[in-house]
């Protein structure tokens, strides 16, 4: 990825492997300090990457962010309302089409969506496939004990089986999670963060909240840079591995330092805002303008929603 | 503990959004009252801090690492209500931009992590550290215990939300529509790791940060006391309002009194009592007649001819003059309150502007 070029390489994955070898003696275990640095760098990389995609021309990038937000949220609500998994499939297909039309590499998009949350969902839902966890009609009997099996106070029944209800529930949950995450990722990838936050005004969210949200987003990166500095300074002075006890103390003190710094910093920011004429009533300027194409997109989304909801009611 | 989308039914997610709206409203009101225009930068930077702190891995004995939420320490420093907003903002950014926690489930996540956690943590800390000296170990112990309880209560509520899905939302054939586990599975599955690991991380991180601040930045631990003191240093309205309400209740007693209030005699009364009217008073007495002279309607005054012997209470007279008296009272009260409110507004606005300039 070209995004790596913008970041020093000790911040990216390759650097971590090297630092891991000497920050702890144990190479199997990633040191907490290195792990934190990796997390910080991944976050910066992801957001730089999102902004790059949001700046490209494409279907979703071209939409009025307010209309896009309303449409995407309606799709999210629809996904959570459907009771039949095979009606979620076309909605997932729709996200793929929208991703392709927005010139997002499908390989990257699918990897980003599937990498963590759905796999986690699959692990969570796995035990519910079995009749001993959630009773149901056996679909595939794995083991017939031939007699009532009890484990301490629990009665496990006479067979161990995967139930059809369990499979249905698992497919439904995973599809729901995947499609919801996809919609969220699409919204975040194709909208510049400042526009996304400003478009929240559609829902009459008070201006002060929108201001706080955008200030927070900015200061996250400043605090991340401060945290990186603290961690790098420490790592660069270290000779040999440190014990987990030392790591723990160090991380807690750097949190404390960061807390003190940010508190003092907020006073300075407040002073800076007042000196520029801030009086507690923020002004939020935007130049959003809904065009016929935006309404056309929203109408198509509404049609898709009406179709799947209608289908869901018909199927019961 | 961040709930992704897909696990909660829209009914649950919507219900928790609805519960968060009054919480945010109250928090917004309290924060505006204590911090005024200073709120935006302080809350925003606290939110950014809460976001960043969730990325710090803390090594635990036994080789595992985990991250802390930091809700309790934030609440101790900026106050529980500002913490509710700061953590909610941080959760919103996580959900919108980083896919951490669902967008529809944001109401639920804000309720669990942004409201239950800091408020429980903060009040536990306050309770346990009451009367403890600044540098005493009881203080960091109280902060750690608050963090442990706050995180576990938040986890318990999350588990209940999950468990309700498994118990309540099923298709006709019994298959799960959302999270598949009932309360009896969800609660132990959630609570065992939180009581054993996540709660310990939260408690250890909070105590260590607290100890660090006790040694290196003790004034920060008092910053919320300062904010509160500044807020209570202003005029306390509650006792004032109670006193005024009591006085209002006593107003009808005036109906039972006879004669005029001392020092408020009319020229005719002075003539009767003293025998003459001072010349200066005579000159000015006709200059101003109130809209409702003697707190009675002109017509009612006709009837009230003052034929009763002085000092005796005439029920007849009370009944006749009561409506006029009460209406006069209400009109007067409204006028006085209106003027007082208006001038108070003018004064505070000027003071606020001055404060901002300072």
The 10s digit of each residue's pLDDT in B54-111 is: 877 777 666 566 678 889 999 998 889 989 999 999 999 888 888 788 899 999 999 9
Angle (CA) A196 A112 B90, round 5°: 45
Residue B115, C-beta contacts closer than 8 angstroms, at least 6 positions apart = B20, B23, B84, B88
- Contact of B324 with B300, CB cutoff 8 Å: yes
User: Taking residues B351-357, what's their average pLDDT?
Assistant: 59
Distant-in-sequence, close-in-space partners of B147: CB < 8 Å, separation ≥ 6: B68, B71, B72, B73, B121, B199, B202, B203, B205, B206, B207
Partner residues linked to A157 by β-bridges: A149
Quickly count: other Cβ atoms within 10 Å of residue A80's Cβ. 26
Closest-CA residue of A relative to B177 is A169
Q: Do B45 and A262 touch (CB under 8 A)?
A: yes
Question: What's the angle, vertex CA A213, arms to CA A212 and CA A217, rounded to 5?
Answer: 115
Q: How far apart are CA A106 and CA A92, in angstroms?
A: 13
Statement: residue B117 has pLDDT above 80: yes
| pLDDT above 80: residue A288 | yes
Predicted confidence at residue B154, as pLDDT, reads 92
Does residue B2 sit within a domain?
no
Contact A172 B175 (CB under 8 A): yes
Q: Which of A81-85, A215-219, B47-51, B246-250 has the lowest mean pLDDT?
A: B246-250
Mean pLDDT, all residues of chain A = 81
A43/B89 CB distance under 8 A: no
- Chain B residues in contact with A208 by the CB 8 A cut-off are 28, 39-40
**B330 in Cβ contact with B254 (< 8 Å):** no
Whether residue B247 is found in the same domain as residue B211: no
Examine residue B159 and state whether it is found in any structural domain, yes or no: yes
Cβ–Cβ below 8 Å for B57 and A36: yes
Q: Distance from B324 to chain A by nearest Cα, in Å?
A: 46
Same domain flag for B204 and B315: no
Give domain status of residue B4, yes or no: no
Substitution target from B36, B59, B220 for chain A, most A beta carbons within 10 A = B59
Q: Residues, chain B, total?
A: 358
Q: Is the pLDDT of residue B19 over 80?
A: yes
Give the integer Cα–Cα distance in Å for A61 and A48: 16
Q: Is the pLDDT of residue B125 over 90?
A: yes
Range of the domain at B160: 10-233
Of A215, A259, A260, the CB nearest to B41: A215
- Written as one string, the DSSP assignment of B246-314 is HHHHHGGGGGT--SPPTT---HHHHHHHHSS--HHHHHHHTT---SSGGGS-HHHHHH----SPTTPPP
Residue in A with minimal Cα distance to B202: A252
Q: Tally Cβ neighbours within 10 Å of residue A158.
A: 15
Spatial distance between the Cα atoms of A314 and B323, rounded to a whole number of angstroms? 67
Mutate to test the interface with A, among B97, B102, B207, B353 (most CBs of A within 10 A): B97
d(CA A302, CA A73): 11
Both B98 and B224 in one domain: the answer is yes
Q: Answer with the one of B233, B265, B292 that is the final residue of a domain.
A: B233
Q: Which of residues 125-184 of A touch B (CB under 8 A)?
A: 125, 128, 133-137, 164-166, 168-170, 172-173, 176-181, 184
Q: What are phi and psi of B122, to 5 degrees?
A: -65, -50
Closest C-alpha to A200, from A44, A65, A87: A65
User: Which of A165, A216, A257 best probes binding to B when mutated, by most B CB atoms within 10 angstroms?
Assistant: A216
Looking at the fold, whether B221 and B276 belong to one and the same domain comes out as: no
Using the beta-carbon criterion (under 8 Å), do B180 and A173 form an inter-chain contact?
Answer: yes
Question: Which pLDDT belongs to residue B109?
Answer: 92
A85-101 vs A292-315: helix crossing angle, rounded to 10: 160
pLDDT class of A302 with cuts at 50, 70, 90: very high
CB contact under 8 A, B98 and A216: no
- Does B55 lie at the interface with A, CB-CB under 8 angstroms? yes
* Residue in A32, A185, A256 nearest the CB of B65: A32
End residue of a domain, out of B233, B265, B298? B233
**H or E element at residue B162:** helix B137-168
Nearest by CB to residue B176, choosing from A128, A252, A257, is A128
Same domain for B149 and B17, yes or no, is yes
Same domain, B246 and B195: no
* Chain A residues in contact with B78 (beta carbon < 8 A): 263
The pLDDT assigned to A25 comes to 43
pLDDT tens for each residue of A64-94: 889 999 999 999 999 999 888 888 999 999 9
Residue B102 placed within a domain: yes
**From A263-277, B232-246, B344-358, the region with the lowest mean pLDDT:** B232-246
Full DSSP string of B51-89? HHHTT-EEE-TTS-EEE---HHHHHHHH-HHHHHHHHHH
**Closest-approach residue (CA) in chain A for B352:** A279
Judge contact between B78 and B122, C-beta under 8 A: no
Confidence of residue A4 (pLDDT cuts 50, 70, 90): very low
Cα(A297)–Cα(A291) distance, integer angstroms: 10
Residue ending a domain, choose from B176, B200, B233: B233
The answer to whether B259 faces chain A, any CB pair under 8 Å, is no
Q: Mean pLDDT throughout A289-295?
A: 88
Residue with tokens 């109280």: B142
Name the closest residue on chain A to residue B172, using Cα atoms.
Answer: A316
Distance from C-alpha of B37 to C-alpha of B48, rounded to nearest angstrom: 18
- Whole-angstrom Cα distance, residue B261 to residue B127? 52
Looking at the fold, whether B200 and B266 belong to one and the same domain comes out as no
Closest CA to B210 of B140, B138, B149: B140
Whole-angstrom distance, CA of residue A7 vs CA of residue B336 = 67
Number of domains in chain B: 2
Q: Which of A153, A152, A129 is nearest to A141 (CA)?
A: A129
Q: Is A123 exposed, middle or buried (0-12, 13-18, 19+ CB in 10 A)?
A: exposed
- B208 shares its domain with B260: no
Asked whether residue A61 carries a pLDDT value surpassing 50, the answer given is yes
- Predicted confidence at residue B75, as pLDDT, reads 92
Q: Who among B49, B102, B173 is closest to A262 (CB)?
A: B49
The residue that leads in pLDDT, B348 or A309, is A309
Q: Say if CB B171 and CB A168 are below 8 A apart.
A: yes
B143 and B286 fall within a common domain: no
- Condensed to tens digits (0 to 9), the pLDDT of residues B264-314 reads 566 666 666 666 666 666 666 656 555 555 555 555 444 444 444 444 444
Average pLDDT over residues A7-33: 50
Residue among B36, B89, B104 minimizing CB distance to A77: B104
Enumerate the β-bridge partners of residue B170: B176
| Number of cross-chain residue pairs from A and B with Cβ atoms under 8 Å apart | 271
Are B104 and B216 in the same domain? Answer: yes
A29 CB neighbours in chain B (<8 A) are 63
Across the range A91-106, mean pLDDT stands at 90
Cβ–Cβ under 8 Å, residues B121 and B146: yes
Q: How far is CA B14 from the centre of its chain?
A: 24
Q: What number is the average pLDDT over the span B8-21?
A: 90
For chain A, positions 226-285, list CB contacts with chain B under 8 A: 227, 244, 247-249, 251-260, 262-263, 265-267, 269-270, 273-274, 278-280, 282
State both tokens at A244. 């987990």
**Helix pair angle (A85-101, A106-114), 10° resolution:** 140
Furthest C-alpha separation in chain A: 81
Question: Which residue in B5, B40, B213 is closest to A76 by CB distance?
Answer: B5
Higher pLDDT pick, B223 / A6: B223
**Whether residue B199 is found in the same domain as residue B246:** no
- Burial annotation A269-295 (CB, 10 A radius, 16+ → b, else e): bbeebbeeebebebeeeeeeeeeeebe
Tell me how far apart the alpha carbons of residues B170 and B157 are, in angstroms, rounded to a whole number: 21
User: In this structure, is residue B275 part of a structural domain?
Assistant: yes
Cβ distance of A263 and B216 shorter than 8 Å = no
Return the residue of A nearest to B88 by Cα: A213
Q: Is residue B249 part of a domain?
A: yes
pLDDT digits (tens, 9 = 90+) for B185-227: 888 888 888 888 889 888 988 998 899 888 888 888 887 777 7
My answer on whether B86 and B222 are in the same domain is: yes
**Short-list A98, A96, A95, CA closest to A58:** A98
Q: What is the ipTM of this complex?
A: 0.82
Reported as a pLDDT band with limits 50, 70 and 90, residue A17 is very low
pLDDT tier, A26 (very low <50, low <70, confident <90, very high otherwise): very low
Q: What local confidence, expressed as pLDDT, does residue B141 receive?
A: 92
DSSP structure string for B118-133:
HHHHHHHHHHHTTT--
The answer to whether residue A51 scores a pLDDT higher than 70 is: yes
Asked if residue B190 lies in contact with residue B165, where contact means CB atoms within 8 angstroms, the answer is: no
Determine the residue among B26, B42, B50, B56 to mutate to test chain A binding: the one whose Cβ has the most chain A Cβ atoms within 10 Å.
B56
Q: Report the share of chain A in percent with pLDDT over 70.
A: 88
Q: Which residue in A165, A212, A278 is closest to B44 by CB distance?
A: A212
Decide: B212 and A256 in contact? Cβ < 8 Å.
yes
Kindly state the average pLDDT of the residues A172-186.
91
CATH of the domain at B135: 1.10.1760.20
């Amino acid at each position: 990825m070209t995004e790596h070029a913008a970041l020093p390489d000790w911040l990216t994955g390759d650097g971590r492997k090297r630092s891991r070898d000497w920050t702890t003696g144990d190479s199997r275990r990633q040191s907490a300090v290195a792990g934190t640095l990796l997390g910080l760098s991944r976050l910066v990389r992801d957001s730089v990457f999102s902004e790059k995609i949001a700046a490209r021309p494409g279907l979703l990038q071209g939409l009025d962010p307010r209309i896009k937000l309303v449409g995407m949220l309606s799709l999210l609500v629809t996904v959570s309302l459907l009771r039949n998994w095979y009606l979620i499939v076309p909605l997932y297909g729709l996200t793929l089409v929208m991703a392709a039309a927005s010139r997002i590499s499908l390989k990257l998009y699918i990897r980003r969506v599937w990498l963590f949350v759905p796999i986690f969902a699959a692990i969570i839902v796995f035990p519910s496939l079995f009749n001993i966890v959630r009773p149901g009609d056996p679909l595939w009997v794995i083991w017939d004990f031939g007699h009532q099996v009890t484990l301490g106070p629990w009665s496990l029944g006479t067979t161990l089986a995967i139930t059809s209800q369990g499979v249905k529930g698992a497919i439904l949950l995973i599809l729901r999670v995947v499609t919801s995450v996809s919609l969220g990722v699409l919204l975040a990838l194709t909208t510049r963060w400042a526009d996304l936050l400003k478009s929240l005004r559609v829902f009459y969210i008070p201006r002060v909240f929108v201001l706080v949200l955008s200030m927070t987003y900015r200061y996250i990166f400043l605090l991340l840079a401060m945290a990186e500095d603290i961690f790098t300074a420490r790592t660069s002075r270290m000779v040999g591995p440190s014990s987990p006890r030392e790591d723990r103390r160090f991380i807690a003190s750097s949190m404390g330092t960061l807390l003190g710094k940010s508190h003092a910093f907020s006073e300075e920011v407040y002073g800076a805002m007042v000196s520029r004429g801030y009086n507690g009533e923020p002004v939020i300027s935007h130049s959003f303008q809904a065009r016929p194409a935006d309404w056309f997109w929203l109408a198509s989304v509404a049609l898709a929603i009406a179709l799947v909801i209608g289908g869901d009611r018909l199927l019961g | 503990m961040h709930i992704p989308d897909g696990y909660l039914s829209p009914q649950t997610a919507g219900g928790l959004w609805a519960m968060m709206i009054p919480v945010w409203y109250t928090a917004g009101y309290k924060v505006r009252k204590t911090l005024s225009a200073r709120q935006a930068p302080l809350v925003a930077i606290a939110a950014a801090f809460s976001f960043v702190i969730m990325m710090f891995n803390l090594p635990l004995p036994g080789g595992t690492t985990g991250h802390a939420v930091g809700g309790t320490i934030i609440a101790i420093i900026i106050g529980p209500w500002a913490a509710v907003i700061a953590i909610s903002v941080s959760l919103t950014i996580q959900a919108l931009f980083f896919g951490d926690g669902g967008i529809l489930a944001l109401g639920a996540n804000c309720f669990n992590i942004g409201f239950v956690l800091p408020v429980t943590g903060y009040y536990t800390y306050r309770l346990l550290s009451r009367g403890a000296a600044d540098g005493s170990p009881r203080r960091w112990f109280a902060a750690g215990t608050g963090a442990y309880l706050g995180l576990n209560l938040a986890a318990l509520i999350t588990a209940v939300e999950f468990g309700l899905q498994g118990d309540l939302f099923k298709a006709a054939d019994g298959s799960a529509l959302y999270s598949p586990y009932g309360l009896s599975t969800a609660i132990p599955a959630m609570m065992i790791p939180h009581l054993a690991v996540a709660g310990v991380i939260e408690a250890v991180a909070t105590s260590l940060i607290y100890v660090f601040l006790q040694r290196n930045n003790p004034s920060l631990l008092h910053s919320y006391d300062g904010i509160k003191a500044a807020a209570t240093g202003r005029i306390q309205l509650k006792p004032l309002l109670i006193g005024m309400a009591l006085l209002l209740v006593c107003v009808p007693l005036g109906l039972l009194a006879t004669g005029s209030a001392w020092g408020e005699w009319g020229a005719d009364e002075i003539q009767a009592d003293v025998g003459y009217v001072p010349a200066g008073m005579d000159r000015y007495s006709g200059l101003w007649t109130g809209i409702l002279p003697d707190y009675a309607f002109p017509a009612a005054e006709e009837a009230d001819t003052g034929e009763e012997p002085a000092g005796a209470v005439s029920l007849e007279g009370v009944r006749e003059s009561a409506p006029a008296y009460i209406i006069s009272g209400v009109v007067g009260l409204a006028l006085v309150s209106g003027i007082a409110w208006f001038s108070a507004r003018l004064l505070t606005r000027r003071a606020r502007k001055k404060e901002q300039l300072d």
